[in-house]
Structure 1
Amino acid sequence: MRLALAYEWCRLRTLRSTWWLAVTTLLVTAALAWAFGALLGNMATEVGQAPPVTEALVIMLTKSPVTPVIAGVLGVFAMGHEHRYGTIRTTLAVTPHRVTAFAAKALSIGAFSTLLAFANLAVAWLVALPLIGGDRWEGVSLPLLVRVHLGQVLLVLGWGLAGVALGTMIRSQTAALLTLLAVPLVVEPMLRAVLRSSGQALLTTASSFLPFTAGNAMTGVPGTDGTLLDNASQLGPLAGGLAFFTVIALKGVSAVMLFRTRDA
């Protein structure tokens, strides 16, 4: 496993796409945090009602969709590049045991996704601190912020692992990327809207268990019905995280089974 991890980490850090994507997500996170902060500031001056400081912070820190998406893209690349450029044979020559090879990819992408999440949170904080000043910090709940930060890191980690699983199950890198983007950003919101407009309590509840909807609940603020963060119909952070990672675990098991049985 040590050799496999060293090989995967060397592959990940020597690809230019890794660093271009990482820098891109840092820049976009900074821009979106500033834009969210400016929008909230305009609401306070024009509408005359400032949003709660905790909600403002959560929006600025965690509501950029780019960080988890980039982690997922890197996860797809971890296996997609192997099939696209024919380097899977070299990888399997270095690590003949396929379960070990898959685990090494998942661990390396998981570690990089975690670092990426922390880096983006740090950048968002650098933008948020000057925009939220005065005595507004008195309303901030430290335990809640810690939980939201942990939820954001786990969300980005989950996207990265989901990308590795998809890149393993779908040989075409393009198809895997389209699936990664289409399911959480297009298919799931449409299905969620249909389920919640059905008027059936069971279907409304089921919409909360859609995997990426459940994952987003990890960064939710409980008790915010009708405010900027409307989490009334979401699962709790713990339940959402369990539902999210259960689906990712099932994808991972399916990916390993396919990887073990089919040709390189």
Structure 2
Amino acid sequence: MAVFPAVAQSEWTKIRSVRSTVWSLVSVFLITVALGLAISLVARNNPTDFTEGGRPFDATAISFIGVGFGRLAIVVFGVLAVGNEYSSGMIRVSLAAVPQRGTLLAAKTAVLGALALAASLVTVFVAFFVGQAALGGGLSTSLGAENVLRAVVGTALYLTLLCLLSAGVTVMVRHQILALAILVPFILLISPILTLVPVVKDWIKYFPDQTGGAITQVVPTDDLPYGPWTGLLICAAWTAAALLGGYLVLKRRDA
């Protein structure tokens, strides 16, 4: 029987030996921090543009503007980290070495989750401090302010969940291009577009990008029927469903 620590070590070796996965994590950092800095500088000079509709100025959310695009990079990381084995045919070797498919998927999930969480925590804390420095003393906030630490840590958890959801979808479809073709439109295009359709807009609020995104805001929005942590739990349920689907496919189909 395969020993879990040994399988996890093998998965760690696979991920760090593929340059595309490493660069996708670096992209999460660069995109999130750079865009957060740029928008924070804009907000510093035009703060009233970010308080439309009488909503309070949310300095934390402004520094996290880049998360909207950085999450695309974390999705790519989750897809590539799993999909490379399928595209190269190495999944057959992995399954021959670890016949216990549940153990293999659990090890992949644990390693991916740990890497995504570590990278996300570094990214969001740097983005936060850089953004607040760019906003200046008159507009910036601090980690000690109400709900700010929750938003910062919650954003890292949200990015981690998206990574694991992407991994689950990739295991289900067993093809990285197909997985990206499903995930990228689903997260970046379909959900924002459908929010404009009256018939379905209330249902779209329960999509993973919408529910997880609620945790990134210090000032809650009135149009969401759940709070930040409840939204994150709904996003976690989507992730669990994707991983369960991946496990069932991995268990029942050949490589």
TM-score (norm 1): 0.85
Tell whether the 8 Å contact from 1:53 to 1:139 is kept in structure 2 after alignment. Answer: no
Match of 2:213 among 199, 216, 221: 216
- For the residues of structure 1 that align with 2:143 and 2:164, how far apart are their CA atoms? 32
- For the residues of structure 1 that align with 2:113 and 2:142, how far apart are their CA atoms? 34
Deviation at 1:262, TM superposition (A): 0.3
- For the residues of structure 1 that align with 2:20 and 2:222, how far apart are their CA atoms? 39
Per-residue Cα deviation, 1:40-74 (whole angstroms, up to 9, x for no partner): 02214x87x89999612222135422332222212
Equivalent pairs, count: 250
Tell whether the 8 Å contact from 1:222 to 1:236 is kept in structure 2 after alignment. Answer: no
The aligned residue for residue 222 of structure 2 is: 232
- For the residues of structure 2 that align with 1:62 and 1:112, how far apart are their CA atoms? 22
- For the residues of structure 1 that align with 2:56 and 2:106, how far apart are their CA atoms? 41
Instruction: Name stretches of at least 5 consecutive residues in structure 1 with no aligned partner.
Output: 224-230
The aligned residue for residue 16 of structure 2 is: 13
- For the residues of structure 1 that align with 2:111 and 2:26, how far apart are their CA atoms? 18
Greater shift, 160-169 or 66-75, is seen at: 66-75
Tell whether the 8 Å contact from 2:33 to 2:66 is kept in structure 1 after alignment. Answer: no
Amino acid at match of 1:59: I
Q: Per the alignment, in what secondary structure is the counterpart of residue 147 of structure 2?
A: helix
The aligned residue for residue 254 of structure 2 is: 263
- Structure 1 runs, 4 residues or longer, greater than 4 Å off: 49-54, 135-141
Structure 2 residue 185 is the aligned partner of structure 1 residue 182 = yes
Q: Per the alignment, in what secondary structure is the counterpart of residue 39 of structure 1?
A: helix
- For the residues of structure 2 that align with 1:204 and 1:172, how far apart are their CA atoms? 30
Amino acid at match of 1:244: C
Within a 5 Å distance, the mapping from 1:3-152 to structure 2 comes to: 3-44=6-47, 55-61=58-64, 63-134=66-137, 136=139, 142-152=145-155
Tell whether the 8 Å contact from 2:117 to 2:160 is kept in structure 1 after alignment. Answer: yes
Q: Per the alignment, in what secondary structure is the counterpart of residue 46 of structure 2?
A: helix
Instruction: Name stretches of at least 5 consecutive residues in structure 2 with no aligned partner.
Output: none
Tell whether the 8 Å contact from 1:62 to 1:219 is kept in structure 2 after alignment. Answer: no
RMSD over aligned CA atoms reads 2.6
- For the residues of structure 2 that align with 1:138 and 1:214, how far apart are their CA atoms? 24
Tell whether the 8 Å contact from 1:4 to 1:94 is kept in structure 2 after alignment. Answer: no
Amino acid at match of 1:254: G
Amino acid at match of 2:214: A
Tell whether the 8 Å contact from 1:72 to 1:163 is kept in structure 2 after alignment. Answer: yes
The aligned residue for residue 153 of structure 1 is: 156
Amino acid at match of 1:263: D
Tell whether the 8 Å contact from 1:54 to 1:140 is kept in structure 2 after alignment. Answer: no
Amino acid at match of 2:44: G
Deviation at 1:85, TM superposition (A): 0.3
Per-residue Cα deviation, 1:6-50 (whole angstroms, up to 9, x for no partner): 000111112111222222222222320121112202214x87x89
Distance change >3 Å, CA 150–CA 213, structure 1 → 2 = same
Amino acid at match of 2:207: L
Tell whether the 8 Å contact from 1:53 to 1:140 is kept in structure 2 after alignment. Answer: no
Per-residue Cα deviation, 1:146-172 (whole angstroms, up to 9, x for no partner): 110121011111111111101100122
- For the residues of structure 2 that align with 1:93 and 1:204, how far apart are their CA atoms? 46
Identity %: 27
The aligned residue for residue 245 of structure 2 is: 254
- For the residues of structure 1 that align with 2:29 and 2:142, how far apart are their CA atoms? 28
TM-score (norm 2): 0.87
Amino acid at match of 1:242: L
Amino acid at match of 1:184: I
Amino acid at match of 1:64: V
Amino acid at match of 1:215: G
The aligned residue for residue 168 of structure 1 is: 171
Greater shift, 207-216 or 156-165, is seen at: 207-216
